[in-house]
Amino acid sequence: QVQLVESGGGSVQAGGSLRLSCAASGDTIRYNCFGWFRQAPGKEREGIAAIYTPSGNEYYASSVKGRFTISQDNANHTVYLQMNTLNPEDTAMYYCAAGPSTLPGRGTQLIADSYNYWGQGTQVTVSS
């Protein structure tokens, strides 16, 4: 099993930045692909970024590419999401998820059903 705890959400004005953290514990050897997802009210959960920690390969949705950066701190089992140039459309609950090491081979790094464990979420609100 894997436990995930997100932090770093908050309220920010358009154009601002936030950095989300996802602290992982448990079986991070077997579950070593981490994704960030977000869900706004009335919308489906959207995969926005993922990282395969053994290689550091990163994956991004087009909606955030160039503005958001996913990174890892292997020593502390933490994955980060640096979010820059935020706009009101980025307002959502943000979730961290952990998936199996086989996930990158399937090409489904941004698909929610590919992940096995989820954090409780952290709210991000961007005002205009």
Spatial separation of the C-alpha atoms in residues 47 and 99, rounded to whole Å: 13
pLDDT digits 0-9 by tens, 36-54: 999 999 999 999 999 999 9
pLDDT of residue 99: 96
pLDDT of residue 62: 96
What's the mean pLDDT in 65-80? 96
If phi > 0 it is left, if psi is from -120 to 50 it is alpha, else beta; for residue 16 that is beta
